[in-house]
Structure 1
């Protein structure tokens, strides 16, 4: 009988211990579940927030694109409605000065030995050397005074720009006691033209003279016609 009572008490104790163990495990599992639920809520909230910010940024970018497009269309309409822009006043004045100068020099173009042409730097007057000088000499021929006087008159009345006078020779070495090379001859001829223009009223500070010898040929070749064409004096009226 005592043995039976002892068995019942041991069995009851084991049951009580088992119940306490289950209750403890249930309590721990409950706290773990609540922690996981709280973490999931935070992650979900952050994802929703980031998604909302992303959608807002997309909306702003779209609005900016529409604004830029509308401004571009408005600019095109305005440009289409306006007349084409007129040339700059400086270009208009330069072109007018060129035309006036060339018109005043038109009588010189009646001879085939003198040309008047617009070039990139301005207006160029080219005079064949035989009109101005005797062969191998740098003294102006009296017969050239009329043509050079017309040039000087046009330069004083229709231009205030700088003027570059260049002497050019052929490629035949000069044999002259006065000029040792074509450099000296071409420089002396350019200087003679400058002196004449100054005497006829062209301001000295506008003028410069340089000899080019045969380094800037008008015609490439060694025949007599090419050499004759290359012997010249050019007067460049700069823009």
Structure 2
């Protein structure tokens, strides 16, 4: 038998070599050290900067990119919640509509105006007198004017006696005025016709004041709270409604003003300031009296 020659296979196993470490960790470490150096550099600069310089640096970082490039309003002076975001429509002259007491007060007065107009339109008696009722909003508040008519006077001639229809108007208006806490003022107006009796002791001044006070009594008689009245006055013919004709009957009127918050506070402040001034003057007078009493008196002359 012939011998078969076997093939000899030599398997060489090479030992695994460790790959060389890369430099990625060195890059990360370098970035970290650079950031730390920049951080400590910024901290050092802030520590040696003045408050004015720090304020300027803070303003630079708060400034929107749009403003920095093209110019415009700074974020520190903007009332917008988002810097550079445009106009804030919740702001009106720096005040929030929802928290502005003047705005809320004006809205209440407008609602009262609508309420009065509804009462007048719903009442057949008042509706026929609608041309003699003027209702508008002024700087002091809601003004209700009841004007005279040549064929329908509000008072007896040269008198403060209220006509029946005028009494009806005032007594219907009275309860409606209680719907707001605002106080009111009443003013009586006359035309330029001299007082018919010609008395130097009673003139259009006294007549207009008496008519305003008579109107106050009718309002209270209709149900208005007496404490709502802040001022009653007569102005005679100094404030004509028709300035071109001082004798026009429309100048004879009663003006009721439901005061807004500012006007009411101003009147109350003026009254309280006057009271304090009076108290101070009285105190000064008492002090002067005490000084005079304590001063040494000259010896009295001998009686003969």
Into which bin does the TM-score normalised by the smaller protein fall? 0.5 to 0.7
For the Cα contact (< 8 Å) 2:189–2:254, is it kept in 1? Answer: yes
For residues 55 and 202 of structure 2, what CA distance do their matches in structure 1 show? 77
Shift of 1:190: 0.1
Note the 1:128-143 alignment, pairs <5 A.
Answer: 128-130=147-149, 131-143=153-165
Q: Which residue of 2 aligns with 1:126?
A: 145
Instruction: Give 3-state SS (helix, strand or coil) of 1:160's partner.
Output: coil
Q: Which residue of 1 aligns with 2:211?
A: 189
Q: Which residue of 2 aligns with 1:102?
A: 113
Specify which structure has the higher proportion of helix.
1
- Residues 187-227 of structure 1 show CA distances to partners (whole Å, capped at 9, x for unaligned) of 01000000111122222222131000111122213364xx2
CA gap 1:152/1:223 in 2 versus in 1, 3 angstroms: closer
Consecutive unaligned residues of structure 1, counting only runs of 5 or more, are: 1-55
For residues 223 and 92 of structure 1, what CA distance do their matches in structure 2 show? 37
Q: Which residue of 1 aligns with 2:58?
A: 67
Instruction: Give 3-state SS (helix, strand or coil) of 2:191's partner.
Output: coil
Shift of 1:97: 1.5
Q: Tell me the TM-score normalized by structure 1.
A: 0.65
- Residues 45-70 of structure 1 show CA distances to partners (whole Å, capped at 9, x for unaligned) of xxxxxxxxxxx9xx958876443222
Deviation larger for 202-211 or 63-72: 63-72
Q: Which residue of 2 aligns with 1:90?
A: 101
Higher relative contact order (CA 8 A, sep 6+): 1
For residues 152 and 189 of structure 1, what CA distance do their matches in structure 2 show? 16
Consecutive unaligned residues of structure 2, counting only runs of 5 or more, are: 1-44, 65-74, 121-125, 261-304
Number of aligned positions between the proteins: 180
RMSD, aligned α-carbons: 3.0
CA gap 1:63/1:238 in 2 versus in 1, 3 angstroms: closer
